[in-house]
Copies of this chain bind each other. A is one copy, B any other.
Amino acid sequence: MTHRIALIPGDGIGIPVLEAAMRVAEKASPGLLEAESFPWSCDHYLQTGRMMPEDGIETLRGFDAIFLGAVGWPEKVPDAVSLHGLLLPIRKAFVQYANIRPHRLLPGVQGPLRKDAFDILCIRENTEGEYSGAGGRVHQGTGDEVAVETAIFTRTGVERILRFGFEQAMGRSKRLASVTKSNAQKYSMVFWDEVTRELAAEFPEVQVSHYHVDAIAARMVMAPETLDVVVASNLFGDILTDLGAAIQGGLGFAASANIDPTGKSPSMFEPVHGSAPDIAHLGTANPIAAMWSLVMMLEHLGEVETAARIMRAVEATTARGIGTVPGRDKTDEITAAVLSALEE
């Protein structure tokens, strides 16, 4: 069975890492993925005035999954424009409310922490909250200017991501960490805590811990081995997953899946690293995060065996010390190593 994939390489290192991952996919299972590539990006914006065409979302809807490289190049287009024009609308339009990001050290990778035994699965709310895009500015440019940014949390949004978190916890260690800042944000985060407590009653087997975001950020560095499934709002999940990427050795290793768990819309898979304009010309972008994201995409599409084979090849590569040190190896070398590991 062939799966139709929309490829959005996007900007900067998004382009070479996606190409690398697709070579691996084709080698692992020729013809399994039928990809169509879309040039939507900051360059596209400069040419057309839009990050993606007006019917971009409708175009994507027909695919089985979306594989995205990275969006953003602040020197060309302000981030607030590029991200609100491409990445964020896809997450929202396709109700990809669960952003899943695994954090563990691949073999051969030395992380920045002295501790190296941890395995955290971050579940990030992906459609609302602090990313609602509601707000405005008055008295702009004057000494009286005020800017407001409103986080909006709905019952539907909070409940479904927490439920997803509880379900993931049931499939792992049955331990769930729920992240808020309810000591300072007394509307949104107190609400989140309440819904967490309600769902905890539905999942009596799951042991729930409540953390403030500052405390769990510290814990991820001091005692990451005490965490398993972590569920957080859009912004808190964003911060914690970059931190997760850091403790797993850097953004070159951090994969993610933006899932619509109902299956009604296509889900999107992307490395966490972003476009990294500063290193885009060096040819040293690490394709491992993109390959791991590909693995998550294949799992989502039900191709668990191919996914497992690719993951084994990636791990065999890092175990040999290839692609393990940020900026040292060329994208092509790392890709070649994974391709040859696939033959073993």
Interface string of A78-90 (1 = CB under 8 A from B): 1110111000100
| B residues near A274, Cβ cutoff 8 Å | 215
A217 touches B218 (CB 8 A): no
A183 touches B246 (CB 8 A): no
10 tightest Cβ-Cβ pairs between the two chains A and B:
A79-B183, A214-B242, A135-B187, A149-B188, A218-B246, A147-B191, A80-B186, A221-B246, A145-B155, A218-B242
Say how far A271's CB is from chain B's closest CB, in angstroms.
14
Stretch at the interface among A107-115, A161-169, A287-295, A310-318: A107-115
- Which listed residue, B114, B137, B186, B218, touches A113 by the CB 8 Å rule? B114
A152 within 8 A of B: yes
Say how far A218's CB is from chain B's closest CB, in angstroms.
4
A187 touches B154 (CB 8 A): no
A40 within 8 A of B: no
- Which listed residue, B78, B146, B221, touches A221 by the CB 8 Å rule? B221
Say how far A126's CB is from chain B's closest CB, in angstroms.
11
Known contacts A114-B112, A155-B145, A182-B79; is-contact A135 B217 (Cβ 8 Å):
no
Residues of chain A whose beta carbon lies under 8 Å from any beta carbon of chain B: 72, 78-80, 82-84, 88, 110, 112-115, 130-131, 133-137, 139, 142-156, 181-192, 213-215, 217-219, 221-222, 234-235, 238-239, 241-243, 245-247, 250-251, 274
Bound Cα distance from A91 to B267, whole angstroms? 44
B146 touches A155 (CB 8 A): yes
B184 touches A88 (CB 8 A): yes
Say how far A117's CB is from chain B's closest CB, in angstroms.
13
Say how far A50's CB is from chain B's closest CB, in angstroms.
17
Q: List 24 A-B contacts (CB under 8 A).
A: A72-B183, A79-B182, A80-B184, A80-B190, A82-B183, A88-B184, A112-B222, A114-B114, A130-B185, A131-B184, A133-B186, A135-B150, A135-B186, A136-B187, A145-B154, A147-B191, A150-B151, A184-B234, A184-B238, A213-B239, A215-B274, A218-B243, A219-B246, A221-B246
| B residues near A155, Cβ cutoff 8 Å | 139, 142-146
Bound Cα distance from A213 to B145, whole angstroms? 23
